Structure 1
Amino acid sequence: MKLRIAILGTRGIPNYYGGFEHISEYVSAGLVKRGHSVTVYNSHNHPYTANSWNGVEIKHCYDPEYLIGTAGQFVYDMNCLLDARKSKYDVVLIMGYTSSSVWGKLYPKNSTIITNMDGMEWKRSKYSKPVQRFLKYAEKLAVQYSQYYVSDSLVIKSYLADKYHINSAYIPYGADVYSEQEREQYEFKEALKEDYFLLMARMEPENNIETILEGFNKSNSNKKFKVLGDTGNRFGKFITHKFKNDNRIEFKGAIFDTPKVRSLQNNSYLYFHGHSVGGTNPSLLEAMASEALIAAHNNPFNKSVLNTDAFYFSNAVEVRHLVENVQRKDLEKNMVLNNLHKIQYQFNWESVINQYEEFIIETHKHSNNERIIAH
């Protein structure tokens, strides 16, 4: 069965931004290879301006976020939905619900609507209490107006089952396994073997960047600490100012060059993953695939992926302890290998794309049957 599929809810592909753009890039191209017709909606401000990418049709919709801030995301999502209503897609896959579910009544009536339910956005500490209340409401609307649901984490799947009594399909993110040759062909002076710690994240409070750097700052380590992520926002400026006197800490900005990121992860002494909210995080899977030794924030999202194959921390004291005491011996080498096996057998893109295709076809057949019965 070959379907016409639209992916909405992201800023667009190729990925210049984050998790949903990352997965949309892989899933859209993968579904095209399997014979489906796929359209991804892009912000008109997206750096990629062509009308197709790897066989995926790109539709550019007006996005006033650059003019009016966050409210512009709602306008952009509305513009995408209005266009999708005219286009008669078999399936509309909506990535997240933050600024789209308020337009639930505009969801295309004759399309099968699947929403990837994101990661309990209302828990993010960067949001004020009123915004957190709104996000809880937006989550409820997404459940109400969607027909089918995807969770990228088993923690989210069980939360949705408990709270809304809905059965969502668990489909994780994926990562590519690079050969040693591919990883090592990218040589540059910053990737000297194991002489630095590393973290890679958006500069947001719930990513525990302050906790991690506080622990490192108080340590007696003589290694560098490289921080990857755009520090242009308010929290980023706060963090760079707070640690400006520690010349071991280097803020490298955002890096979207995958081989360079992979090389930095692979060569790090210890990779810190501080994300505490959301589902399976792409940068965590990339680090596992890059054979980094990982220290992760102690929460159910990270533990459901890493299990016993990581060190865990909850505060700056524990970070300092890891910085000063973690070794690179047989036990640690096994942790790295176990995580690599998870990528090869559980979190590989081929498997993720297959699961999306199966779920899309199955739900479309199911909703078609329901429409026939209703008539």
Structure 2
Amino acid sequence: MKDIFIVGSKGIPAQYGGYETFVDNLVTRQENKNIKYHVACMTFNKETRHYDYNGADCQEIHIPNIGGAKAILYDLKALDWALKEIKANNMRNGLIYILACRIGPFIKSYIPKFHKYGFEVWVNPDGHEWLRAKWSKPVRKYWKVSEGGMVKNADLLVCDSKNIEKYIQTTYAKYKPNTTFIAYGADINSSNLSQDDSKVREWFSKFDIKENNYFLIVGRFVPENNYETMIREFMASDVKQDLVIITNVEKNKFYEELKEKTHFDKDKRVKFVGTVYDKDLLKYIRENAFGYLHGHSVGGTNPSLLEALGSTKLNLLYDVGFNHEVGEDAALYWSKENGSLKNLLEEAIKLTQEQIDDFGKAAKKRVQDEYSWEKIVKRYEDQFLQ
């Protein structure tokens, strides 16, 4: 039996988030019974639970709500928990799998403690967290230093994007990092909802939206997802469809700056509709969009992009390495150059239904061939048991 401790997700069952969804699928779709998962789960409650979830041993780790630093503290406390479990149960030759590069300055002291029991320490480096505009310069500097520490000390780095793996190998060549590529996963099953379902009709009626008559954006409301470019270019186009934006929009500084720069509030086509946590409803909204706009510029294999390829026929992606790697010829691409997305939108609405259907088939095939959860979970299990 191989014991695998997973540190860094907020926990399972997944409520939201890429890492949480990944861990949930890894556990619930487990095929090989020679693996025992132990999953750290974050909680702000002082009374912590220890529970079973689909065979996984889950332990809540209490963290005080201290802002951004809480994620670092959480990872360190989770490693302490893992080490305690290994000692108490006399475990040998397992794995510690750390998701993201938050604890680079501290990881070196933990490595020999786990090696003493034959446990390797693996890291998923995620995307370029140090490039995210939401962080201040000192925090971005910390992220970069932390990334270097994780790369230098990990026994293996599991990259969910070939572009991220290339970046790790190139940037940190002096450390001779040991890397492998295993992508993120997605489903291509259809929504269980129909056009006549009450929750469908209520949502579409509330925002005055019609099926197949809108372009869709789904993603976190942060500058590096290129909201300004997408909104500005859409407003400059002569498309008649709406631009429906599903995001955790708050009337914050970024929102006000965006409104000031683009005056999107003067364009009736641009509709911020908040978040949609109902997975079936969100899938239905994706399936019935005329097209999907993806502007993510930071990260690896992005979960919302895979969901779009599995659900929406026509996908218009920001042309950066890891987006192109996923979409290949099943999508269309735009750049930040003035007029690039505007022109692509105006070309997209002239496509025939047959051309749109062909893009949809190619997109689903990309997900089926390379990103299905069944294949991703099997690759992980094979890697864990090598």
CA distance in 2, matches of 1:40, 1:240: 42
Residue 183 (structure 1) shift:
5.9
Residues 149 and 168, structure 1, Cα contact 8 Å, conserved in 2: yes
Match of 2:225 among 201, 204, 207: 207
Structure 2 equivalent of residue 40 of structure 1? 39
Residues 172 and 352, structure 1, Cα contact 8 Å, conserved in 2: yes
Residues 196 and 270, structure 1, Cα contact 8 Å, conserved in 2: yes
Task: State the one-letter code of the partner of 1:360.
Answer: F
CA distance in 2, matches of 1:173, 1:158: 17
1:342 aligns with 2:354: no
Residues 50 and 57, structure 2, Cα contact 8 Å, conserved in 1: no
The 3 A distance-change label for structure 1 pair 328 and 264 is: farther
Residue 283 (structure 1) shift:
0.7
CA distance in 2, matches of 1:296, 1:4: 39
CA distance in 1, matches of 2:150, 2:31: 27
Unaligned runs of 5+ in 1: 363-375
1:25 aligns with 2:24: yes
CA distance in 1, matches of 2:56, 2:313: 33
Match of 1:157 among 151, 154, 165: 165
1:296 aligns with 2:320: no
CA distance in 1, matches of 2:13, 2:247: 18
Identify the range of structure 1 (185-194 vs 147-156) with the bigger mean alpha-carbon deviation: 185-194
CA distance in 2, matches of 1:159, 1:323: 31
Identity %, equivalent residues: 29
Residue 240 (structure 1) shift:
6.2
Structure 2 equivalent of residue 70 of structure 1? 68
The 3 A distance-change label for structure 1 pair 136 and 38 is: same
CA distance in 1, matches of 2:351, 2:306: 20
CA distance in 1, matches of 2:126, 2:85: 25
- The structure 1 segments of at least 4 consecutive aligned residues displaced by more than 3 Å after TM superposition are 31-35, 181-187, 236-242
Secondary structure of the residue aligned to 2:76 is helix
Structure 2 equivalent of residue 324 of structure 1? 346
Deviations 1:73-105 (A, max 9, x none): 2222221111111011621111111x2333302
Task: State the one-letter code of the partner of 2:272.
Answer: F
* TM-score (norm. length: structure 1): 0.87
CA distance in 1, matches of 2:240, 2:307: 26
Give the superposed CA RMSD: 2.4
CA distance in 1, matches of 2:51, 2:273: 32
Secondary structure of the residue aligned to 1:155 is helix
Deviations 1:264-308 (A, max 9, x none): 111101100111111010111111111431000011111111112
Secondary structure of the residue aligned to 1:57 is strand
Residue 49 (structure 1) shift:
7.0
CA distance in 1, matches of 2:255, 2:74: 26
- Tell me the number of residue pairs that the alignment of Structure 1 and Structure 2 aligns: 356
Match of 1:197 among 190, 196, 215: 215
Residues 28 and 38, structure 1, Cα contact 8 Å, conserved in 2: yes
CA distance in 2, matches of 1:80, 1:318: 46
The 3 A distance-change label for structure 1 pair 101 and 243 is: same
1:103 aligns with 2:111: no
CA distance in 1, matches of 2:171, 2:157: 14
CA distance in 2, matches of 1:243, 1:51: 48
Match of 2:246 among 228, 244, 252: 228
Residue 218 (structure 1) shift:
2.5
Residue 324 (structure 1) shift:
2.7
Kindly report which structure 2 residues correspond to 1:1-375, keeping only aligned pairs within 5 A, or say none.
2-31=1-30, 34-45=33-44, 51-64=51-64, 66=65, 68-88=66-86, 90-97=94-101, 99-104=102-107, 105-107=109-111, 108-109=113-114, 110=117, 111-164=119-172, 165-179=176-190, 182=192, 184=194, 187=197, 188-189=200-201, 190=204, 192-232=210-250, 234-236=253-255, 238-239=257-258, 243-315=264-336, 317-326=339-348, 327-329=350-352, 330-362=354-386
Task: State the one-letter code of the partner of 2:367.
Answer: I
Residues 230 and 254, structure 1, Cα contact 8 Å, conserved in 2: yes
Residues 118 and 151, structure 1, Cα contact 8 Å, conserved in 2: yes
Identify the range of structure 1 (204-213 vs 183-192) with the bigger mean alpha-carbon deviation: 183-192
Residues 198 and 227, structure 1, Cα contact 8 Å, conserved in 2: yes
Residue 337 (structure 1) shift:
0.8
CA distance in 2, matches of 1:209, 1:78: 34
Unaligned runs of 5+ in 2: none
CA distance in 1, matches of 2:315, 2:196: 22
Task: State the one-letter code of the partner of 1:20.
Answer: Y
Task: State the one-letter code of the partner of 1:203.
Answer: F
The 3 A distance-change label for structure 1 pair 217 and 74 is: same
* TM-score (norm. length: structure 2): 0.85
